[in-house]
Structure 1
Amino acid sequence: MAKAPEFQQPHMPHPVINRPYTAKDLPSVNFGPLGLMAFGMTTILLNIHNAGFYPVSVMIIAMGIFYGGLAQIVAGILGSRTGNTFATTAFISYGFFWLSLSAIWIFPEMGIAEKTPAGYLGWYLFMWGLFSFFMFVGTLKANRVLQLIFFLLFILFFLLAVRDWTGSELIGKIAGWEGILCGACAFYLAIAEILNEQFGRDVLPI
């Protein structure tokens, strides 16, 4: 059997409790697929835009707020109940990344703030790339698919930062295709964790 991924929690029998139940007594679930799927689907859709297929629209913004944002935050909170510092930090951080990115897009349209210059946005993306690099280091003892996701992710942020600093459409398109691959890996890992747990064996290798 392959090593359990960082996000996966083992199933343990629950003892009989002769007292009122509290939140800590609730059975824990594998929250990883929720967070990974939320990350993967929104990342794919955003990077289809980055690859040049369609402009930013309410479809991407809505997915960013409600699935990439809120669903990942929920997954991170669930991770905190199991003591999983890595998953909690990753899911809540990237959830708020999606919320902040959506705000960067819609606040100027609402007249709340001025539009962010591309050079400034490059530094925003660079900082997320730096964060993602150190999160990648944290996956080096995890499964290979999770390592690949974070490796592709920090490369993606750095490519997008360079695109905004240089204005290069080519680098932006390369970043878009690389980001589609990153999101697809997260999508794959989410499905693998669900199916492997449901069937009790490695249906999809990780």
Structure 2
Amino acid sequence: MTNDVEKAESNTPPMYHAHPRKTEPSTANPSTLGLFSFASTTFILSLYNAQTRGITTPNVVVGMAAFCGGLAQFLAGMWEFPRNNMLGAAAFTSYGAFWMSYALIFIPGSGILAAYEETTTLPSAIGIYLLTWMFVTFFFFLVALRTHLAFAILFGLLTTTFGCLVGGEWAASVNSTKAGGIIGVLTALTAYYIGLADLLASQPNPIFNLPLGTWLGGSKKD
């Protein structure tokens, strides 16, 4: 019996022998990349929506929407999944997809805007598009109520921003669109704040820390 066991073990391919488990290297927190990418793109478009310096055409934001708010934020969302951060993974991936889809609307080769040249339904179509994202953002807001106050403020402001932009499209209201732009700037500044707080917290000896606060019994991170 003993000889049979020893013989079986000697014939076992090396790949099936147990090896000590290697320690995986720690993964950097991708949230700052996602937040800064979202904030920068939102900040630019919101200034355009507010008609800052008389700007009424938002096409310059297309590059930012495709690569910064889009690709970079989408990758940040993918990197959040192995960290088991479901809110960050879902939010970053969703808004990365949002920005890429938004950029596609304004790329002439897509034919999206050209399809509406003979109709007057473009504002209604864009309004429905924005309304859908308002719903998604509100769902994130509900979840954020049990995390940090800063995240609740971020998603609350973004939900309001989308609501104002929907009103601007459906009611052809310049003032509503401008209001969405102004609230969008506040949204971007909040995202910058959270991103900086995460970046500072990741450093061994930060010069200072930014509190994120608590909300409805959520966790606290100072």
TM range (shorter): 0.7 to 0.9
Q: What is the aligned partner in structure 2 of residue 130 from structure 1?
A: 135
1:30-64 deviation line (CA, Å, top 9, x unaligned): 11111011111110100000001224455311111
Q: What is the aligned partner in structure 1 of residue 63 from structure 2?
A: 62
Q: What is the aligned partner in structure 1 of residue 154 from structure 2?
A: 149
Say which structure, 1 or 2, has more relative contact order (CA 8 Å, 6+ apart). 1
- Return the alpha-carbon distance in structure 2 between the equivalents of residues 137 and 153 of structure 1: 13
Equivalent position amino acid for 1:178 in 2: I
1:64-98 deviation line (CA, Å, top 9, x unaligned): 11100001111101101112221111101100000
1:105-146 deviation line (CA, Å, top 9, x unaligned): 11xx22633147011110110010001001100101111111
Kindly report structure 1 stretches of 4+ aligned residues shifted beyond 6 Å: none
- Return the alpha-carbon distance in structure 2 between the equivalents of residues 204 and 85 of structure 1: 23
Q: What is the aligned partner in structure 1 of residue 84 from structure 2?
A: 83
Equivalent position amino acid for 1:67 in 2: C
Number of residue equivalences: 185
For residues 38-187 of structure 1, the aligned pairs below 5 Å read: 38-53=37-52, 54-106=55-107, 109-110=108-109, 112-113=111-112, 114-115=115-116, 117-187=122-192
Q: What is the aligned partner in structure 2 of residue 18 from structure 1?
A: 20
Percent identity (aligned) = 31
8 Å CA contact 2:133, 2:162 repeated in 1: yes
- Return the alpha-carbon distance in structure 2 between the equivalents of residues 201 and 135 of structure 1: 31
Shift of 1:197: 2.4
Structure 2 residue ranges without an equivalent (≥5)? 1-18, 213-222
- Return the alpha-carbon distance in structure 2 between the equivalents of residues 193 and 201 of structure 1: 13
Q: What is the aligned partner in structure 2 of residue 190 from structure 1?
A: 195
| TM superposition score normalised by structure 2 | 0.78
Distance 1:71 1:111, change over 3 A: closer
Equivalent position amino acid for 2:63 in 1: A
- Return the alpha-carbon distance in structure 1 between the equivalents of residues 140 and 47 of structure 2: 24
Distance 1:203 1:74, change over 3 A: same
